[in-house]
Amino acid sequence: MKKSFFKYYIYFTYILLIYSFQIFSVEAKLKDIARIDGVRENQLSGFGIVSGLAQTGDTKNLITSESMKNFLKNQGLSAASNPAISKNIASVVITANIPTYAKVGDKIDVTVSSIGDAKSLEGGILLQSPLKAANNEIFAVASGAISFGGKEVKIGVSKNPPKTVGIIQGGAIVEKEIQGKFFNKENKYRVILQNQDFATLDIVNKAITENFQSENVTTRIVSPVEVEVIIPESSDPIAILGKLENITVTPENKARVVVNERTGTIVMGANVTIDEVAISKQGLSVVVSGGGKKRFWDDSEKVENVIVMPEATKVSDLVKALNKVGATTKDIISILEALRKSGAMHAEVVVQ
């Protein structure tokens, strides 16, 4: 009797652990699936000149010579009326992201990319260049040596590709702060989901309410992706928001398959299923069968490379089976697209 009880106890514990692992494995912190309104980055861009290139700069870009002429003029130097284009300089576009609450003197990374016919920016120095926001105000100034990371090695390629895009780590200094609209007198803050999903929105709303009952925090759904959080005046909003970000929830994910035809990459969720269907492509046949249903193909017919799979199979199982019979990535992508069009695959297919 004791052995039987112990046996069932071990079995029950094993099942409980499996289900607990499945449940907790999909939990996520709120800050990983949502953001608080007012905390965001802003884009900056500008035009600049890169100097110090070893005869790899622009050769036909008149903007480069005019820009260098203006630069020398601003430095108090005179330049020829029609200066010759030097291969040691190049015109570039500079881009960067600045946080809303970046302070004056903070440093941010910038990306530099050639806009002329420069062969390479390697070894170049970006001259001091202003970075502007969409309202044409200057918020930062960039300059410095351009880096390209580690040496790239490609099989079958004798020469490294031209380095016309580089990064300057901490290359821009913030000169003006962007005024954010985060704190407010009403102590109202909005939590915005990264992906629209009504089930996840409801889960987040209930989780906030349950975790802040003692603080008298109230919530209100204001849009399909937003939950408004109202914090009492007697509470510290920073402490509440800090705790809010660390709430763990189990989001509901949409069934989705992402296909990148250029790189041949397929990324799929675990909840993607396929209805009863028959697929045939260049001597390759796939049959997803379901019990008790009338089939529209002949089971007795012998076809090379036939794969028979149960109904409601996962796409991951289908891809594994196709790989076993030698189907290429291109074949798999075309089959997935056909399944989507036929309506047999219950998932959103994103083709990139």
Would you list the domain boundaries of the chain? 42-149+163-174, 183-249, 256-351
Q: How confident is the model at residue 6 (pLDDT cuts 50, 70, 90)?
A: very low
**Weakest mean pLDDT among 86-100, 188-202, 286-300:** 286-300
260-293 burial, b at 16+ Cβ within 10 Å, e below that, comes to eeeeeebebbeebebbbbebeeeebbbbbbeeee
pLDDT (0 to 100) of residue 169: 93
Q: What is the mean pLDDT of the chain?
A: 76
Q: How confident is the model at residue 146 (pLDDT cuts 50, 70, 90)?
A: very high
Q: Which fold has domain 183-249?
A: Alpha-Beta Plaits (3.30.70)
DSSP for 62-108 reads: HHHHHHHHHHHHHTT----SSPPPPTT-EEEEEEEEEETTPPTT-EE
pLDDT (0 to 100) of residue 324: 66
Strand pairing category for 256-260 and 348-351? parallel
Residues 157-204: tens digit of each pLDDT: 445 566 889 999 999 999 998 776 666 777 888 898 988 888 889 999
Which residues are CB-neighbours of 94 under 8 A, at least 6 positions away? Answer: 45, 46, 47, 48, 110, 111, 112, 126, 129, 131, 142, 172
> CA dihedral defined by 243, 245, 248, 254, rounded to 10 degrees?
160
Q: Residues 128-136: what's their mean pLDDT?
A: 92
Q: Residues 147-166: what's their mean pLDDT?
A: 64
Which residues are CB-neighbours of 42 under 8 A, at least 6 positions away? Answer: 97, 98, 99, 100, 133, 139, 178
pLDDT (0 to 100) of residue 182: 64
Distance (Å, rounded) from C-alpha 208 to C-alpha 226?
13
pLDDT (0 to 100) of residue 214: 85
**Weakest mean pLDDT among 67-81, 195-209, 281-295, 330-344:** 281-295
55-76 burial, b at 16+ Cβ within 10 Å, e below that, comes to ebbbeebeebbebbbebeeeee
